[in-house]
């Protein structure tokens, strides 16, 4: 009986790729990549459960914490870091933990994934509690570091999510919510930065984006909590105020400044004709949901 995770099997569709012309080699890779989205789609019921758990936890002051090793860890840290400017969350609300620490982000520290106790210690150090959701990611579903983190998180009362791309996947047995996107044999045997990495990236996109939509970080498909931290994002925030605030570009630029760089506050100021402080008060009363502040007028044509 084969007990290897499916990601460790040899892929018959890419046998002999070293002898193929470059364009055909790339087509074989692309053919394999093209299967991933449909596989992730089959996991949507479980992903939805996780999204709702994350949103519920964050509404109660909890956090979204990714934990992983190697490629999986880097993807978690990447998704978390991109939530900060996109949705205006703090580094304390959404973050990633990677086996081997920050050094592992740029340098492979493969042995770090084997330390189960280090995973548990990382959860203790993060002071994980009952409102937190811990997303453990391991392509093979067996990384001891990640399993140790999930086990300790459960002991501390957190909701746990296991994301794996293989079968068998003990991590998914450990977690409260199991997201098992079985991508099959990799293009290169065991190279889980390929299809598995793509699947995990898609799942992270859904988890964070879905949860942020559920807690009011968007209006429709507009990123109204975007942080104006560079030239591109300042311009985007000004366009949001002009568009959703139904005002001109000059006024939008002024309101962005008066709002302290918050597009959401600037939109309320424009639509309601109120000060920045009053706009924040209205948003706070509405739980941060811009649609609730604007009511029927929030609809965008």
The residue behind tokens 């105020």 is: 241
- Which residues are marked as active site? 82, 113
- The overall average pLDDT reported for the chain is 94
Most confident of the following: 14-18, 106-110, 296-300: 14-18
Gap between the Cα atoms of 211 and 134, Å rounded: 14
Domains of the chain are 6-214 (3.40.50.10490), 231-298 (1.10.8.1080)
Q: How confident is the model at residue 7 (pLDDT cuts 50, 70, 90)?
A: confident
Is 299 a residue whose pLDDT tops 60?
A: no
Tens digit of each residue's pLDDT (9 = 90 or more) over 190-206: 999 999 999 999 999 99
Tens digit of each residue's pLDDT (9 = 90 or more) over 13-64: 999 999 999 999 999 999 999 999 999 999 999 999 999 999 999 999 999 9
Tens digit of each residue's pLDDT (9 = 90 or more) over 89-98: 999 999 999 9
pLDDT (average), residues 5-14: 91
How confident is the model at residue 248, as a pLDDT? 96
Give the CB-side neighbour count of residue 115, counting CA atoms within 13 A: 16
Structure tokens of 204? Answer: 């992270």
pLDDT (average), residues 255-276: 96
Q: How confident is the model at residue 296 (pLDDT cuts 50, 70, 90)?
A: low
Question: Are 10 and 173 within 8 A, CB to CB?
Answer: no
- ω before 168 within 30° of 0 (cis)? yes
Tens digit of each residue's pLDDT (9 = 90 or more) over 26-38: 999 999 999 999 9
Gap between the Cα atoms of 31 and 12, Å rounded: 13
pLDDT (average), residues 151-174: 96
Q: How confident is the model at residue 301 (pLDDT cuts 50, 70, 90)?
A: very low
Is 251 a residue whose pLDDT tops 90?
A: yes
β-sheet with 94-98: strand ranges across = 94-98, 64-68, 133-137, 159-164, 177-180
Measuring CA to CA, how many Å separate 301 from each of 71, 116, 238, 244, 249? 41, 52, 18, 10, 19
Tens digit of each residue's pLDDT (9 = 90 or more) over 202-248: 999 999 999 999 999 999 999 999 989 899 999 999 999 999 999 99
Is 11 a residue whose pLDDT tops 80?
A: yes
Is 161 a residue whose pLDDT tops 60?
A: yes
Tens digit of each residue's pLDDT (9 = 90 or more) over 119-158: 999 999 999 999 999 999 999 999 999 999 999 999 999 9
Structure tokens of 58? Answer: 């964050």
How confident is the model at residue 2, as a pLDDT? 54
């Amino acid at each position: 009986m084969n007990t290897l995770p499916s990601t460790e099997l040899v892929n018959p569709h890419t046998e002999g790729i070293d002898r193929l012309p470059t364009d055909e080699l790339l087509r074989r890779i692309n053919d394999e990549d093209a299967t991933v989205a449909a596989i992730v789609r089959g996991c949507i019921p479980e992903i939805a459960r996780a999204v709702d758990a994350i949103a519920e936890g964050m509404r109660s002051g909890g956090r979204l914490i990714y934990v992983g090793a190697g490629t999986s860890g880097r993807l978690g840290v990447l998704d978390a870091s991109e939530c900060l400017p996109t949705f205006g969350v703090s580094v304390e609300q959404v973050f990633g933990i990677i086996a081997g620490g920050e050094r592992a982000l740029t340098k492979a520290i493969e042995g770090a994934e084997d330390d189960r106790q280090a995973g548990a210690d990382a959860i203790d150090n993060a002071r994980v509690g009952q409102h937190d959701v811990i997303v453990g990611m391991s392509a093979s579903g067996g990384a001891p570091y990640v399993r140790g983190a999930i086990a300790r998180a459960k002991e501390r009362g957190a909701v746990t999510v296991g994301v794996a791309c293989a079968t068998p996947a003990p991590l998914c047995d450990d977690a409260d919510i199991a997201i098992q996107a079985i991508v099959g044999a990799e293009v290169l045997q065991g190279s889980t930065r390929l299809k598995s990495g793509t699947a995990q990236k898609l799942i992270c996109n859904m988890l964070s984006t879905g949860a942020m939509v559920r807690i009011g970080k968007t209006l429709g498909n507009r990123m109204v909590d975007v942080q104006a931290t560079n030239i591109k994002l300042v311009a985007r925030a000004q366009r949001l105020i002009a568009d959703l605030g139904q005002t001109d570009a000059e006024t939008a630029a002024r309101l962005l400044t008066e709002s302290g760089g918050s597009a959401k506050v600037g939109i309320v100021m424009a639509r309601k004709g109120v000060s920045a402080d009053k706009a924040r008060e209205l948003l706070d009363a509405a739980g941060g949901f811009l649609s609730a502040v604007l009511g029927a007028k929030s609809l965008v044509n």
